[in-house]
């Protein structure tokens, strides 16, 4: 914002001086960053552009423009460089201080309501570091928006009816030949059912590659999931709930076993994770309805 203000003020000053000194109106003034730091902070080739129209040497035009020019605040000096460039140098200490004052000052609240949807892990297998990255980026954006004064609502849609969940269901039903009861037993007996889903998901992807006709299973499964009252829909919901719940509580269990002094905090965090998952599940249900 500070640089933009300085650029606008210099542009207007150069336009008005060109008109007053030479009786020539210019439509635009190019201000750019010089190639080297010791050449200043902004430079313009305006005098070179005027030379042809005024039939004068560009350096003479530049010197006349620079002489007695009123400079904006935070601009310390102007000099003529090379064939006729006008180079402007900032008071860098004052410029930096003003910049930090602007950045650190409390923003004016816009009151605008913003919805940010992020993370959105597909609940068909174990979460991985990429999901954590998305969560961090999303949460950082939300915090920045709130700091800027927006009224932010955060949403995390758990898509338990998508293709990824359907493929795990297809794998269990068609490749593993497992029923809803069989999968329920696996969930009860396996500490990391979400990792098992990784394996069957990969297995299914390879099977599709080798047998493209099997994609019809996916289409049928997606249709049955939408019906909500079939065994296929029950299996999809069971898989999604378990994967979402297992991924959200794994880190809690690890913290609980790593230190007895923080076991109470870990248990509390696990409970919070479960409550968070439930609330997100309700959000996705409302969105689907």
How many angstroms separate the CA atoms of 168 and 240, rounded? Answer: 10
Whether 276 and 248 have beta carbons less than 8 Å apart is answered as yes
Domains along the sequence of the chain with CATH: 2-95 (3.30.1360.70), 107-155 (no CATH)
Confidence band of 256 (pLDDT split at 50, 70, 90): very low
Least confident of 4-13, 216-225, 266-275: 266-275
- Which pLDDT does position 286 carry in this prediction? 43
How many angstroms separate the CA atoms of 46 and 251, rounded? Answer: 62
- Which pLDDT does position 284 carry in this prediction? 41
- Which pLDDT does position 80 carry in this prediction? 96
What are the DSSP calls for 164-219, one per residue? HHHHHHHIIIIIS---HHHHHHHHHH-TTHHHHHHHHHHHHHHHHHH-GGGHHHHH
pLDDT at 281 over 80: no
The mean pLDDT value of the chain amounts to 83
Confidence band of 223 (pLDDT split at 50, 70, 90): very high
Mean pLDDT of 65-85: 95
Q: How far is CA 203 from CA 39, 107, 127, 187, in A?
A: 62, 52, 18, 19
Percent of the chain residues past pLDDT 70, beyond the cut: 83
pLDDT at 215 over 90: yes
64 class by beta-carbon count within 10 Å (0-12 exposed, 13-18 middle, 19+ buried): middle
How many angstroms separate the CA atoms of 84 and 209, rounded? Answer: 67
Residue 94 CA, chain-centre distance (Å), reads 32
Strands (E), the chain: 42-44, 75-81, 85-90, 113-117, 151-155
Select the highest-mean-pLDDT range: 85-89, 189-193, 255-259, 277-281.
Answer: 85-89
- Which pLDDT does position 278 carry in this prediction? 43
pLDDT at 279 over 50: no
- Tens digit of pLDDT for each residue in 103-158? 877 767 677 889 999 988 888 888 888 888 999 999 999 998 888 888 999 998 87
- Tens digit of pLDDT for each residue in 230-249? 899 999 999 988 887 766 55
pLDDT at 50 over 80: yes
pLDDT at 20 over 80: yes
pLDDT at 263 over 50: no
Confidence band of 267 (pLDDT split at 50, 70, 90): very low
Q: How many Cβ atoms sit within 10 Å of the Cβ of residue 135?
A: 16
- Which pLDDT does position 169 carry in this prediction? 95
Checking DSSP bridges between strand 151-155 and strand 113-117, what pairing results, if any?
parallel
How many angstroms separate the CA atoms of 43 and 40, rounded? Answer: 7
Mean pLDDT of 277-284: 44
């Amino acid at each position: 914002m500070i640089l933009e203000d300085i650029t606008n003020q210099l542009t207007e000053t150069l336009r008005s001086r060109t008109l007053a000194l030479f009786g020539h109106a210019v439509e635009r003034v190019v201000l750019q960053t010089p190639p080297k730091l010791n050449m200043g902070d902004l430079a313009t080739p305006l005098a070179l552009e005027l030379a042809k129209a005024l039939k004068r040497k560009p350096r003479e035009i530049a010197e006349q423009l620079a002489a007695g020019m009123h400079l904006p605040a935070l601009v310390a000096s102007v000099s003529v460089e090379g064939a006729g460039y006008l180079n402007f140098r900032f008071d860098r200490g004052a410029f930096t201080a003003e910049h930090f004052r602007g950045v650190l000052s409390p923003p004016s609240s816009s009151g605008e309501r913003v919805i940010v949807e992020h993370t959105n892990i597909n609940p068909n297998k174990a979460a991985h570091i990429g999901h954590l990255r998305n969560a961090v980026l999303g949460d950082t954006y939300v915090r920045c928006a709130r700091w800027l004064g927006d009224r932010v609502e955060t949403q995390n849609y758990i898509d338990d009816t998508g293709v990824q969940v359907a493929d795990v269901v297809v794998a269990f039903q068609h490749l593993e030949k497992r029923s809803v009861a069989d999968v329920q037993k696996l969930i009860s007996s396996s500490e990391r059912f979400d990792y098992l889903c990784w394996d069957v998901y990969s297995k299914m992807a390879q099977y599709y590659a080798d047998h493209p006709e099997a994609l019809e299973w996916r289409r049928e499964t997606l249709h049955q999931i939408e019906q909500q009252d079939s065994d296929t829909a029950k299996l999809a919901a069971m898989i999604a709930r378990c994967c979402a719940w297992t991924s959200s509580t794994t880190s809690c269990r690890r913290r609980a076993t790593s230190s007895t002094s923080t076991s109470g905090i870990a248990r509390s965090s696990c409970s919070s994770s479960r409550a968070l998952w439930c609330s997100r599940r309700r959000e996705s249900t409302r969105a689907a309805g």
